[in-house]
Structures are given as C-alpha cells and as structure tokens.
Structure 1
Amino acid sequence: MKFLPLHYATRNIGRSPLRLALTAGGGAIVVFLVVSAVASVRALDRGIRASGTVGNVMLLGAGSEESVERSEISASTPGVLAASIRGMKSLGGAAFISPELHVPLPLRREDQPAPVGNARDLVMVRGIEPSAFMVHPQARLSIGRLPEIGRAEALVGRSLAARLDIFDKNFANQDENANASTTIHSQADNSPATHSAATSFNAHNSHASNQEILIDDIPFTVTGIIDAPGVAIDGEAWVPISDLLVLTKRQTISVAVISLDSADIGDIEMFAAQRPDLELAAIDEPAYYAGLAKFFKPVQILIAVSALIVALGAMLGGLNALDAAFASRSREIAMLQVLGYSRAAVIANLIQESIITVATGAIPALIIAALLLDGLGVRFSMGIFSLRVDAACVASGLAAGLVLGLIGSVPPTLRCLHADIPSALKSDLV
C-alpha cells in the first residue's frame, strides 16, 4: 500500500493559520489542564505519604488514632516512655523521642490586614522540642536558629515562608544588623545622643527584616526556615511546645513520636496495653499517613474530575476545529483517491496531520506547565504541597494530546470518505 509522504501532512498544517491556532490552542489547554491535575493529585498523595518516617511510632490518645489534632495525652507521657521502653534510638544519651502539640491556628504576617469575619487562614502550628529534628529527618533548619522558650519565636517551613514573603536574605540582614548593633554599643559612650542613636537603630532594624507574624493574633518572631521539601512540614510553623501550651491554654499534648532501634511496634503496643492509665494507642507513622492519604482520596478524585471536565470543554472545541478543517477538504480527499491512494493511506495521513497539529500546541503547553507549575506551592486544608512536573505528568499530557489528535481526525475523515468520488470532486468546499 502506497502512503502519502509525511511532508504532505506538515505542509497542510499551515494552509489555514486560524484553524491551526484554534486546534493547537485547544490541544494546549487540554494538555496543560491534564498536567496540572495529575501534578496536583500526585503532590497531595506524595506529600502526605512522605511525611511518615519508617521506624517512627506515634503514641496518640486512645480513640484518636485517625487524627493527631484531636488526640490528647499527658505532658508527662514522653518521660514515662523514655524511662520504660528499651530499644529506642539514642544519640549521646538522648533518646529519640519528640513530644508534640498539633493545633491549627490562624497565622498571618503582622503587617497584613486582619481578616474579615471567619475568613481566616489556618496553618498547622506544631509545638516541638529540639528533639523533633531527631525523629523527623525530613526537616532541616536551613537558615536561622532555633526559637527560644518564652520569647514568642517560631520556625516556618519553606513553603509557608514563601507565602509570607520571608526569605533567606531577611536572616542575613538580621545577622548584619545584630553585628552592627553590637558595634554601636561597644563603641558607645554614656552620652544621651549616642544612646538615642543606638535605640533608634535597633528600633528601625527590628522591623527591617519583616519577620514578624501573628499566630492567633499573638505576635511571634520568625527565627529560621525549615527545609522539608515534599512533605507536610514544609507548610507548618514550629514553636516551642511550652509556648504553644500557654497560647492554647492546654495542659495536654497531642502525640509523642519515637524512633525505634532494636524494638518494634509490637513492643510499644504491649507497653500501651500494660499502662491503661496512660490511655495510649500506638500506630506506625507511615501507616498513619497512609490512612490519611486514603482519607483524602475522594478529594484527589474531585480534583482530577474537575480538571477533566474543563479539559473536556477545551477538547470539544478542538474537535470542532478539526472537524471543520477536514470536512471542508472533501474535494482534496477525493482527488487523492483518484491519484491512486487508498482510503487507509488517506486516513493515516490525516491522522498524522491531526497529531502534528495538536503537538504544535501540546509541546509548548508542557514547557509552560514545567515553568509555571514545577515547584509551585499549593495550599490544601492547613498544609502546603509543592507541585512537581515529573515524567508521569508529562506522559499524561502527551497521552491526552495523542487521544485528542486521534479522536479529532477519524470521525470527519470517515465521513468524507463515505461520499462518492464524483460528488466530492464537484463539491464547492475546498
């Protein structure tokens, strides 16, 4: 069977710039929406599942195994665990155990206007001790220092910091200002003029770094940024647990997270059963976050369906453009058959043309999606997840473009081929 040359299909693409723009534009919209939907679903699932560390066990309040926010255990429980459980990881005599308090609270920059009514942005605020970095290896203090107890200081995740317009350079400026302030004081005499200048310098630079935030309308100073890419911690704020207990007027904590060495979760479950007075429930941390990911599965489906509905509208527009483009070429298709090309060869050539046309829009759409979406932080519930345009997203976008090219070319081509050749040659459509 003799096929038409490929350059015939590529040459026909430019015959009508308007149709090319409509068809390629429809394909670009479809591909971009499919890539964004797949990236969102995968980011949510990956972010939740990656938040759990293998070897970690969470001690929650009995009956609150599905929600750490609703859990309550005694603040003395971590000390009891450290003294009673053998086989935990330790470093320099310090056990890998992290008492934590998880509370969703409104959080905003101090210079932002107060929200009206109930329109408050809730952020997961986690009360921690320094041992939290031992049991959560995904979290790393990128810049700054740990917050000090009783001084209303906090750490923020990288994604949350970006939303609050807090950047690394703020901390560099803070260090420079601190050094300059020290120099001023060291060189200062006791004269009122010098004291006034130093006071003015400190007052000016206390606000220069723009690191003041409000947690539940209480001012806090951000002392550092946590890097935890791809996990829920990246969108959280961490404060000393004692400060958060005072802020929330609580006497109980949410969870104690421990890292196991030679022990296993069975040992922890046995301890919880032997101490009913503590009212504890032990759950493997990866299993907890896997259950949380399963809980959010309907939301992932909703995201995908919403994007596909919008993509379907764009696809229908692209199909209409392809249908109009091929339906007006009945005389050309008939002439190709007169020249000896079989119907299969004509169909193959028109499918090639359709796929190339859609690819004209699909490839730029993939590039734009990679530039705009890759690394973009998306808020969900009280967390922030970073999108990643990976191979699966690109493959999904290309598959959507391929399907659009196939579906858009076959029906109008078959309709044109069903017409008898003499009638098609006499057609006024060109």
Structure 2
Amino acid sequence: MLLPWDYGVRNLARRPVRTALTLVALATVVMLVFVVVGFIRGLERSLAVSGDENVVLVYSVNSEENIENSSIAARSPSLLTASVEGTVKRFGVTHVSPELYLGTRVKTESGEGGLGLVRGVTLSAPLVRRSVQIVEGDWPSDGEVLVGRLAAAKLGSSDESVRIGKTLEFEGRQWTVSGRFAAGGAAYESEIWCRLGDFQTATKRQDLSLVAMLLSPSGSAAEVALFCKERTDLELRAIRETDYYGSLQRHYRPVRLLAWFVVVLVSAAGIFAGLNMMYGAVAGRVREIATLQAIGFRRRAILISLIQEGVLLAAAASLLSGVISLTVLNGMAVRFTMGAFTLRIDSAAILIGCGVGLLLGVVGALPPALKALRAEVATSLKAV
C-alpha cells in the first residue's frame, strides 16, 4: 500500500524555509541549463538561417574561410556577369552585389562602442540578401549607415545609441544612422551597412571583399566555380552561401561541444547540491520514516513518497525557471566572434531544461532515501 499522495505535499508545506531554499537552489541550476542550451540553440539557428541556397559567394582564394581578409579586383562583378550565365536579372537589373566587408572599431556618441562589422553595399544588396528588410527609417545616402537589429549588441552598447539620427564614428569619419533592418535572425543583423563608394573612400580602398550572386533555377554554382578555377589570374573561389555557413557551423562545433559539456557539469553540480539538501532533509526525519515502517508501510511505499517530494520540488523549480527563461532570456542578444545572435529558448531547450530538473529531483532524492530505509527500525525510533 502506497502513502497518500497529499502526504508528500503536506511534508513540503511543514518545512517552508527548507522547501523554499531547495526550490531556489534547484531553480538556479535549471536556469543555468536554460542559458547554456539557449546559447547553443541561438548560435545554431543564426548560422542555419543565414545562408541562401540560390546565392553564390565569390571571394579571394587566399582568404580561406575568413571573408574579412578577402581582397578581389573591383572589376570582378562585371567579369562574372559577362562570363557566367544563370544570374537572376529583372527589369534590366542584374542581381549581383559587390561588397566590402570589414571588422573595424566603431564608436557611438556616448563614447561606447567596440569592434563592429561594417559592410559596404550598393542598391542591389537587398535583391541578393532577400531576408533583409528595413523595419525603420530609409536606405542610407552619402555619409549615412543602416544598422542591423543586433548591431548594438555586437558593439556592446545600448539600442538607444544606434537610433535613427544618432552618429557613429569609424574609419575616421562620422556617419549618421538613417535606418534599421532585420534579417530573420541571420548573421547580417549584427552588421552596419553603408554605401560601397563611401566606405571605399573612407578606407582608402578600391578593391572588394566579395561578390554575392543570386542564381536563377537555370543557373549553376558549379559553373561559377569553374570560371573561378579557369581565371587563375583573378585568384577567386566560389561557394554556395549555405555551404559557407555550414563550414562556420563545423568551425564552431568545438564551442557547441564545450557548451554541452557545461550543461553536463551544471547538471552534475545540481545533482550533488540536491543530494546534499535531501540528505539533510531525510536526516531530520529518521524517526518519522521508522514510524511509518512500524505501522505497516513498506519501504517501497516510503521510498516512492520521498521521491515524490523531490520530483514535486524539481517540477516546481523547472516551471519557475521555464517561465523566467521564456519571458526574460528568450531573445536576449549575445555578442560573439561572428557577430551577435539571440538566445533561443525553444521547445528543445524547454524539454532539456525541464528534463534535467526532473532528473535532479529523482536522482537527488533516491540515495538519501535508500540510506534512511536501510537503518534498523528500532534504532531509528530511538534517534533524536
């Protein structure tokens, strides 16, 4: 025969201080799990949605995977459009975007700032970067910039510092913010865009970093790659944008593995903390447990009741942490080497976080409960 369900609930209410402390401890552990898993899921999603399978990136063969170090001739876009067929062309406009992409120091009006990602673009950039949408303001004119939704997070400054009309300083010039854009969570959201000609003048460069080409269904990325191999004098390489961001996923794989290892460490620390608190809780109930055995309850029934208490506490802690994570952590911007992205508390993160919480409740309650039940009933009844 099992103990009544409400017996475990009443036990938790009889020790409000200890119950509250245990709840806070478990909620803190589960919250850390949510933060780390949200970090992993946010990084993976940012890289996953950044690529467009119809876009081919052409950049310097010597830059390997780092486009910021790429330098190609300014005539490369015209050579590519003249030599390669299959590029989208509508209303006489070829969907090819020449770009200059650099990491540089950016300072706001308040003196804040840090390393920002600046991309010099032309009016054809939104035609190729189809996920980009201006959500506020206008396209930049001379001396103006368009800032991404997460540009402030990348700079380590506040959103107020990159509002429309504010001034940014980089490459020895003052730039006025003309608008803000979003890109559905893509990596572009942490960038600052300005006119290509202005940026080339400011950096005293006439070259480009890359050319982005939007291919039609009849176009072939292999044809672009073949052209780059044949024109060895240009020292170009071509790669689908999805493959490029896929390589970044592989590059950041050790970071993700380290984050999962942190999840395991945090969970292990939480289990040990739960063990410690449950040992203390059970140690003060030795006579109660012995009395239950003396009046006829089996050890299995008492064990289930003790585990029930631990699981109830862990479930409450998981729910509390889940609510806080969804309302506070979800969507919080995080600065990273590749730019910035948002923590993502999705269904997978909720499942992992709550699963770890319930595991803490079971594993934390089991060893101390077993230890208490192994003691002799007569000896336990005499315990103080």
TM-score, normalised via structure 2 length = 0.94
Please state whether the residue corresponding to 2:340 is helix, strand or coil.
Answer: strand
Q: Does 2:208 correspond to 1:253?
A: yes
- The 5 A counterparts of 1:248-397 are 248-261=203-216, 262-306=218-262, 309=265, 312-381=268-337, 383-397=339-353
| Offset, 1:221 | 0.4
Aligned residue in 2 for 1:154: 145
Give the CA deviation at 1:166.
Answer: 3.9
Find the residue that maps to 1:147 and give its secondary structure.
Answer: coil
Matched AA of 1:379: R
CA contact (8 A) 1:48 1:293 kept: yes
Aligned to 1:236: 191
Aligned-pair distance for 1:216?
A: 3.4
In 1, Cα distance between equivalents of 2:299 and 2:340: 54
Whole-angstrom CA distance in 2 between matches of 1:265 and 1:78: 15
Aligned residues of 2:306 and 2:369 also touching (Cα < 8 A): yes
| Letter in structure 2 aligned against 1:236 | E
Q: Deviations over 1:218-243 (max 9, x none)?
A: 21001110112311111110011111
2:45 corresponding residue in structure 1 = 46
1:133 corresponds to: 126
Query: C-alpha separation between the residues in 2 aligned to 1:30 and 1:346?
Result: 27
Asked if 2 retains the 8 angstrom alpha-carbon contact of 1:43 and 1:230, the reply is no
Q: Give the SS at the match of 2:237.
A: strand
CA contact (8 A) 2:58 2:237 kept: yes
Give CA-to-partner distance per residue, 1:241-288, whole Å, 9 cap, x none. Answer: 111112222221111011111111111112112222221111111111
Matches within 5 A, 1:158-197: 158-161=149-152, 163-166=157-160, 171=164
What is the Cα deviation at residue 340 of structure 1? 2.2
CA distance in 1, matches of 2:158, 2:309: 48
- Partners of 1:277 and 1:380 in 2: CA distance: 36
CA distance in 2 between counterparts of 1:64 and 1:112 reads 33
Which amino acid in 1 is paired with 2:71? E
Residue number in structure 2 paired with 1:24: 23
Change (3 A) 1:307 1:218: farther
- Partner residue in 1 for 2:62: 63
1:14 match: secondary structure: helix
Aligned to 1:4: 3
Instruction: State the distance in 2 between where 1:345 and 1:310 align.
Output: 31
- Conserved? CA contact 2:41–2:345, under 8 Å: no
* Deviation (angstroms), 1:303: 3.6
Q: Tell me: higher relative CO, structure 1 or 2? Use CA pairs within 8 A at least 6 residues apart.
A: 1
Residues 401 and 381 (structure 1), Cα distance of their counterparts in 2 relative to 1, 3 Å cut:
same
Q: CA deviation at 1:108?
A: 2.4
The AA in structure 2 aligned to 1:226 is F
* 1:87-166 mapped onto 2 (5 Å cutoff): 87-112=86-111, 121-148=114-141, 151-161=142-152, 163-166=157-160
CA contact (8 A) 1:161 1:167 kept: yes
The equivalent of 1:203 in structure 2 is: none
The CA deviation at 1:339 is 2.4
**Are the aligned partners of 1:27 and 1:315 in contact in 2 as well (CA < 8 Å)?**
no
Deviation by residue 1:314-357 (Cα, 9 ceiling, x = unmatched): 54333311110012212111222222222211111111110101
Equivalences for residues 405-424 of structure 1 within 5 A: 405-424=361-380
TM-score (norm 1): 0.84
Q: State the secondary structure of the residue aligned to 1:368.
A: helix
In 2, Cα distance between the equivalents of 1:55 and 1:157? 23
Q: Following TM superposition, by how much is the alpha carbon of 1:75 offset from its aligned partner in structure 2, in angstroms?
A: 0.9
Identity fraction in percent: 36
Unaligned runs of 5+ in 1: 114-119, 172-208
Task: Evaluate the alpha carbon distance shift between residue 401 and residue 229 of structure 1 in structure 2; reply closer, same or farther with a 3 A threshold.
Answer: same
Per the TM alignment, residue 78 of structure 1 is displaced from its structure 2 partner at its CA by 0.5
**How far did residue 49 of structure 1 move?**
2.5
Aligned 8 A contact 1:4 1:345 in 2: yes
